[in-house]
Amino acid sequence: MKFALRTLWLGACATLSMFLATSADANAQEKKAEPAAVSLFDGKSLQGWSGLTANWTVQDGAITGENKADAPIGQNTFLVYDKPVKDFELTLEFKIMGGNSGIQYRSKVFDKDKFVVGGYQADIDAGKRFMGINYEERGRGIMAERGEIIAVDGQGKKSRVGSTGDSDALLSQIKWEDWNRYKIVAKGNVLQHYINDQLMSEVQDSESAKAVTEGVLALQLHAGPPMKVQFKSIMLKTY
């Protein structure tokens, strides 16, 4: 009897050991499968990016775009990252002094010489009207205001299906003319914009003729009054 119990006990221990080993392997594989973030900016140069050299430079360790009073740009122009993206998470820090800017993603280059880009844009706005919204440049315009979760059906009809919070309360999280953290998450047809860890807007884009799943990343310099925008700590995680 004692021998039988001991055998059962040893068998149970072996089974438990196998279970724990299998679980550990599964956890290790899961961790290994998690994509690593890569830096898109070396802090010193615009290597990997293309744009108008008169307007885009590196200053104080940050990509810097300037629309200058003595040489204003005639239309919006962009600094374009050379490789397209599909599903991803992008994080960066930004600071804007005057004017309007934004981060393009899954976008299309319309003019390679003047770096004109159109597509989804995570907006940045010193005027406080558009900060955090989803705006489709050269396309459908405002997709979601700050505070909105918008679903777009197959025919292009937009419906507000939820809220990310009060628009003014979300705006109060911004540090003006100082560094803020932007995060864009694009997975499938869901597009989310976070600033300083607050979800500002979300779009669920199912419009069959216009939803986009792949395209370039680009940083916007807006036409109009003189302005300056800076970006640093640019990290991309692709899925």
231: Cβ contacts below 8 Å, ≥ 6 apart: 41, 62, 63, 92, 93, 94, 219
Question: Taking the CB of residue 210, how many other CB atoms lie within 10 A of it?
Answer: 12
C-alpha distances out from residue 106 to 85, 120, 236, Å: 6, 7, 13
Average pLDDT, the chain: 91
Please answer whether residues 16 and 8 qualify as being in contact, where contact means their C-beta atoms are separated by less than 8 angstroms: no
In this predicted model, what pLDDT tens digit does every residue of 134-162 receive, in sequence order?
999 999 999 999 999 999 999 999 999 99
Residues 170 and 92 in one domain: yes
Question: Taking the CB of residue 26, how many other CB atoms lie within 10 A of it?
Answer: 10
Residues 142 and 233 in one domain: yes
pLDDT of residue 82: 87
Residues 96 and 177 in one domain: yes
Residues 4 and 60 in one domain: no
In this predicted model, what pLDDT tens digit does every residue of 4-61 receive, in sequence order?
544 444 454 555 455 445 555 555 555 566 789 999 999 999 999 999 999 999 999 9
Section 114-136 average pLDDT:
97
- Range with lowest mean pLDDT among 23-37, 165-179, 195-209, 215-229: 23-37
119: Cβ contacts below 8 Å, ≥ 6 apart: 104, 105, 106, 107, 108, 136, 137, 138, 139, 212, 215, 216
Handedness of CA 100, 175, 133, 147 (dihedral sign): negative
pLDDT of residue 75: 95
Count of domains for the chain: 2
CA geometry: angle 75, 130, 171, nearest 5 deg:
145
188: Cβ contacts below 8 Å, ≥ 6 apart: 87, 213
Residues 209 and 100 in one domain: yes
CATH, residue 61:
2.60.120.560
> Residue 32 region, left (φ>0) first, then alpha (ψ -120 to 50), else beta?
alpha
Section 174-203 average pLDDT:
98
Please answer whether residues 202 and 191 qualify as being in contact, where contact means their C-beta atoms are separated by less than 8 angstroms: yes
Confidence of residue 196 (pLDDT cuts 50, 70, 90): very high
Question: Taking the CB of residue 142, how many other CB atoms lie within 10 A of it?
Answer: 15
Residues 63 and 15 in one domain: no
Residues 163 and 228 in one domain: yes
C-alpha 131/C-alpha 173 separation (Å) is 11
Question: Taking the CB of residue 105, how many other CB atoms lie within 10 A of it?
Answer: 23
Residues 229 and 203 in one domain: yes
Residues 67 and 179 in one domain: yes
C-alpha 9/C-alpha 47 separation (Å) is 63
Residues 106 and 214 in one domain: yes
29: Cβ contacts below 8 Å, ≥ 6 apart: none
- What is the amino acid identity at position 152? V
In this predicted model, what pLDDT tens digit does every residue of 82-98 receive, in sequence order?
899 999 999 999 999 99
Question: Taking the CB of residue 74, how many other CB atoms lie within 10 A of it?
Answer: 7
pTM: 0.86
pLDDT of residue 203: 98
Residues 1 and 56 in one domain: no
Residues 154 and 227 in one domain: yes
Domain with 28, as residue range(s), is 1-34
Section 214-219 average pLDDT:
98
